[in-house]
Chains A and B, each alone.
Chain A
Amino acid sequence: MAEVRKSFEEINEKIRSGKAVVLTADEMSELVEEKGPKAAAKEVDVVTTGTFGMMCSSGAMINFGHATPKIKASHVWLNDVPAYAGFAAVDIYIGATEPREDDPLNRVHPGRFPYGGGHVIEDLVAGKEVNLRATAYGTDCYPSKKFERDFALQDLPYAVLLNPRNAYQNYNCAVNMGEKTIYTYLGVLKPDGANGNYCSAGQLSPLLNDPYYRTIGVGTKIFLGGGQGAVIWHGTQHNPAAERGENGVTRAPAGTIAVMGDLKTMEHRYIRGASMLGYGLSLFVGLGIPIPILDEEMARFTGIRDRDIFTKIVDYSVDYPQGTGKVLGEVNYEQLRSGKFKFNGREVDTTPLSSYSMALEIARELKRWIEEEKFTLGVPQIQLPGTR
């Protein structure tokens, strides 16, 4: 059998003419296992991935339009959640983890954190009105010192999701080896290593299906919150140098992406404010990336299964907060997904945090976009650091 080589343009042409063969990442894993990567590369043009989890480095960039008289806002609150206003007159950024100003936080531990920046973004996407308050010092060109109005998403001239770090390529499995229950961004951890919490879509996860970022780069078009978005840069803490297995897959948290997309195209189901008991606020983001099967190597990469993906078990009572770098062991996603794994001579119950069922839904929806709506692939204009 001749070597398979396909270009982005050839695949896009197939998409436009309705002839592209598209599989979700879990379907691809089965095909590669059954027929091998070479035959799979010949047969399949695009593999769709998906992930749905709390992604704290997320937020929305908003321009709320000029009122009369004009204001250059210094401090802005959306439903009493502070937004950053250190931009031009009516540009603001609201971060997902920002608590409401009157939140008691962790004064009564563990705090509940019922509402924050992520919920403001959710409310906007859900079509609810959000109260905006602004104060200013006043200038000759922007005389107004106070402004207040309720806005629905359609009233805002500009509102985009702008997330500096999403879709982590692999993540720790957290345990608590201490004597007290702890409340972390990976959920509630019972003492004595009783439960292990993890947060990755594993075999469905975008960057785990393209471990060396061959096809995912700046300009890649993605499913973001139910609408169309794009990869705009590598994300904060992007670390392609993380330890890798023989299959090239990272065995620790590694690559990340910065993404952007128009809030007005998004769906409530895929953008949800999150409250983590005793920790704080976040935003559930639904994200999916189509991966072109350019050659046999890409078929092998996308053929990955949960059992081929390993991650580190880290103690969140001491080693994570103190940054000791100590690792207690390794576990693969097939074990994690089964609900239990053996560790330290006992059975540990696992909790996913990242929703596999929603990730699957997103990968299927993205497949439908390509097949029915002729959603084509974006060609990376700048590769991410670590591209091989």
Chain B
Amino acid sequence: MEKTIILKFTKQTWRKPIIYGLSKNFDLVFNILEAKVLPRQEAYAIMSLEGPDEEYYKGIEYLKECNVIVEEVPEQIQRDEDSCTHCGTCTAVCPTDALFVDGDEKWVRLDTEKCVACGNCVQVCTVQCISLFVI
């Protein structure tokens, strides 16, 4: 199984080495896509987590035991297909290649499975055809 999840840390947990345990204690591969410590020392990380189902759930349990709040990505982007000009500007800022230029004819495609809802594309879209929505 591979999922994109958001980890939320509090002032008490953000300094602790927790994420490395996912690989050390369980048969899991993690990839941090975005991470930030906010002014009040709350922190979050968006990451993809991959491994056998059983290990995945054990890993999530482990995170919860460490007092990390775990959420699945609650937002998704949507694109107005008729409005898109396929200029490709969004592909420059997409961190996960969810937006990519496809095939011989170079249409810009959106793979919602890969999207981590970072919103970069919403900002740069030249014709304002991409928006974020809550699932």
List residues of A whose CB falls within 8 A of some B CB. 52-54, 112, 114, 187-190, 195, 197, 272-277, 282, 284, 337, 339, 349, 351-358, 360
- Interface membership of B1, Cβ < 8 A: no
The interface size of chain B toward A, counting residues with CB under 8 Å, comes to 20
Partner of A277, one of B101, B107, B123: B123
Does more than half of chain A's interface fall in helix, strand or loop, or is it mixed?
Answer: strand
| 29 A–B contacts from the bound complex (CB under 8 Å) | A53-B87, A112-B123, A114-B128, A187-B92, A187-B124, A188-B89, A188-B93, A188-B124, A189-B92, A190-B92, A195-B92, A197-B92, A272-B85, A272-B127, A275-B125, A275-B128, A276-B89, A277-B124, A284-B85, A284-B127, A337-B106, A339-B100, A351-B88, A351-B89, A352-B88, A352-B101, A354-B87, A355-B85, A355-B87
Contacts of B91 in A (CB 8 A): 349, 351
Query: Quick one: which of B96-129 are within 8 Å of A by CB?
Result: 100-101, 105-108, 123-128
CB distance from A227 to the nearest CB of B (A): 18
Smallest distance from the beta carbon of A235 to chain B beta carbons, Å? 21
Distance A187 CA – B105 CA, assembled complex (angstroms): 21
Task: Let me know if B3 is at the binding interface, CB within 8 A.
Answer: no
- Given A276-B126, A277-B123, do A353 and B105 touch, yes or no (CB 8 Å)? no
The DSSP consensus for interface residues of chain B is loop
Known interface pairs A188-B93, A352-B106; 19 further A-B residue pairs with C-beta atoms within 8 A, sorted by A's residue number: A54-B126, A188-B89, A190-B92, A197-B92, A274-B126, A274-B127, A275-B125, A275-B126, A275-B127, A276-B89, A284-B126, A351-B91, A353-B88, A353-B89, A355-B87, A355-B88, A356-B86, A356-B105, A357-B107
B85 contacts which chain A residues (CB < 8 A)?
52, 272, 284, 355, 358
Q: Nearest chain B CB to A230's CB is how many angstroms away?
A: 24
Q: A188-B93, A272-B127, A273-B127 are in contact. Are A353 and B101 (CB under 8 A)?
A: no
Closest chain B residue, CB of each to CB of A352? B88
What are the residues of chain B within 8 A of A354 when measuring CB–CB?
87
Query: Which of B's residues lie within 8 Å of A, judged by CB?
Result: 85-89, 91-93, 100-101, 105-108, 123-128
Q: Quick one: closest A residue to B84, CB to CB?
A: A355
Q: B128: which A residues are within 8 A, CB to CB?
A: 114, 275
User: How far, in Å, is B4 (CB) from chain A's closest CB?
Assistant: 21
Contacts of B89 in A (CB 8 A): 187-188, 276, 351, 353
How many pairs of A and B residues are in contact by the CB < 8 Å rule? 69
Task: For A277, list chain B residues within 8 Å (CB).
Answer: 123-124
List chain B residues, Cβ under 8 A from A54: 87, 126
CA distance A357 to B81 in the complex (A): 14
Bound CA–CA A166/B128 (angstroms): 23
Residues of A within 8 A of B88 (CB): 351-353, 355
Q: Which residues of B lie under 8 Å from residue A351 when comparing CB positions?
A: 88-89, 91-92
CA distance A62 to B91 in the complex (A): 36
